[in-house]
């Protein structure tokens, strides 16, 4: 009997993503891929897969998963999501085993907007243009070009149960701080005066509830243009920050359009894309300008961290209830010491 991973329930925005659909931008097809590339790669590496392998991206609405046909380990990495397996609670990042009688529930926790379920096996989903990444707006990738929903079945080849079966993940570089989001100015920062660039960096900005995988919309004091707000459309990279006519910066994310006609005041550097993505609507942020050499050096450091083994450390159970302890015989016998009278 083959092993399958089943979607029992899914909130909005639960999709299949891999490393992205590269090489088709000139045809108007953007890469899609994960919102938090670092957490996505770590989930796959912990699950003993290549960093760009297909994984399940989970948003704030959460997901419930079950396995059929055999045992399977999954690694959950990203924001501080809460995991429940058969009534037992874990905190991410963690590795947990799924049995045919088990069900994994993933719910949003204290912070973070996205997490990734790395599969210790190979998801057998047919690629579209070389990738299984879901781009829901264009209906490309994933399962029929849409988000995952209850009843979907994902075949898993070569399933594994990892050791230790229940583990936490030793990857301190995943604990990214709350300092300003770092950007490289340009390519059209000359469309803004020096004081307006300073105002942009200083903020503070609030992440709008209208934000999604296509764009993070920022709310705050509008930025003024010195050369107007229209340019000849050019290519859009993930993290590009456009400033349209209303003066409110818009950060283009994983499902961005291929080109855009608003001036781009800056671009979020690669190592901070995930940190920005993990913000929730209503959270505040500011920016810090760095040069390209700094951005490249930080990116190199991230690559070095990912190249090193990610340790899985046994998770010691500490969630025993008082009722359980009172019902358990914790004493295996009594031994009298020398000073006890016979």
Q: What is the pLDDT of residue 342?
A: 39
pTM of the full structure: 0.90
Q: Above pLDDT 90, what percent of the chain?
A: 82
C-alpha span between 305 and 298 (Å, rounded):
11
Dump pLDDT digits (tens) for 97-128.
Answer: 999 988 999 999 999 999 999 999 999 999 99
Which residue from 56, 104, 98, 48 is spatially nearest to 78, judged by alpha carbons?
56
If you average pLDDT over residues 28-44, what whole number do you get?
96
Residue 271 DSSP class: G
If you average pLDDT over residues 148-163, what whole number do you get?
96
If you average pLDDT over residues 5-20, what whole number do you get?
97
Using the structure block, give the residue that is written with the tokens 């900005």: 205
Q: DSSP characters for 115-171?
A: EEEEESSEE----BTTB---BTTTTBSTBTTB---TT-EEEEES----SSSSEEEE-
User: Where does the pLDDT of residue 316 fall: very low under 50, low under 70, confident under 90, or very high at 90 and above?
Assistant: low
First-to-last alpha carbon distance for the chain, in angstroms, is: 64
CA torsion sign for 334, 335, 339, 340 is: positive
Is 154 buried (19+), middle (13-18) or exposed (0-12) by CB count in 10 A? buried
Which residue from 163, 91, 174, 173 is spatially nearest to 314, judged by alpha carbons?
163
Q: Is the pLDDT of residue 308 over 60?
A: yes
**Which of 54-68, 198-212, 312-326 is predicted least confidently?**
312-326
Domains of the chain by start residue, with CATH:
3-171+310-314 (no CATH), 181-303 (2.40.100.10)
User: Where does the pLDDT of residue 1 fall: very low under 50, low under 70, confident under 90, or very high at 90 and above?
Assistant: low
């Amino acid at each position: 009997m083959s092993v399958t991973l089943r979607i029992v329930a899914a909130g909005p925005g639960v999709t299949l993503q891999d490393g992205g659909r590269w090489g088709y931008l000139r045809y108007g097809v953007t890469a899609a891929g994960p919102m938090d590339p670092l957490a996505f790669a770590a989930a796959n590496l912990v699950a003993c897969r290549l960093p760009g392998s297909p994984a399940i991206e989970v948003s704030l609405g959460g997901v419930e998963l079950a396995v059929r046909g055999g045992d399977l380990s999954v690694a959950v990495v990203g924001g501080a999501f809460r995991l429940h397996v058969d009534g037992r609670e874990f905190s991410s990042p963690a590795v947990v085993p799924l049995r045919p009688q088990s069900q994994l529930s993933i719910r949003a926790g204290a912070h973070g907007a996205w997490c990734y379920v790395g599969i210790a096996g190979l998801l057998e989903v047919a690629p579209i243009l070389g990738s299984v990444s879901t781009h829901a707006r264009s209906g490309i990738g994933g399962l029929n070009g849409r988000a995952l929903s209850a009843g979907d079945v994902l075949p898993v080849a070569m399933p594994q149960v990892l050791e230790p079966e229940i583990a936490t993940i030793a990857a301190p570089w995943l604990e990214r701080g709350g300092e300003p989001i770092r950007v490289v100015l340009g390519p059209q920062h000359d469309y803004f005066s020096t004081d307006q660039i300073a105002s942009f960096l200083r903020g503070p900005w609030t992440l709008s509830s209208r934000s999604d995988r296509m764009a993070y919309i920022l709310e705050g004091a509008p930025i003024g243009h010195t050369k107007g707000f229209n340019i000849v459309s050019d290519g859009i990279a993930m993290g590009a920050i456009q400033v349209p006519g209303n003066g409110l910066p818009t950060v283009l994310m994983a499902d961005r359009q291929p080109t855009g006609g608003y001036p781009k005041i800056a671009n979020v550097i690669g190592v901070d894309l995930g940190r920005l993505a993990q913000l929730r609507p209503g959270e505040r942020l500011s920016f810090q300008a760095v040069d390209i050499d700094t951005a490249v050096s930080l990116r190199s450091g991230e690559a070095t961290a990912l190249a090193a083994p990610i340790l899985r450390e046994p998770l010691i159970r500490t969630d025993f209830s008082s009722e359980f302890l009172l019902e358990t015989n914790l004493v295996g016998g009594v031994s009298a010491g020398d000073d006890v009278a016979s």
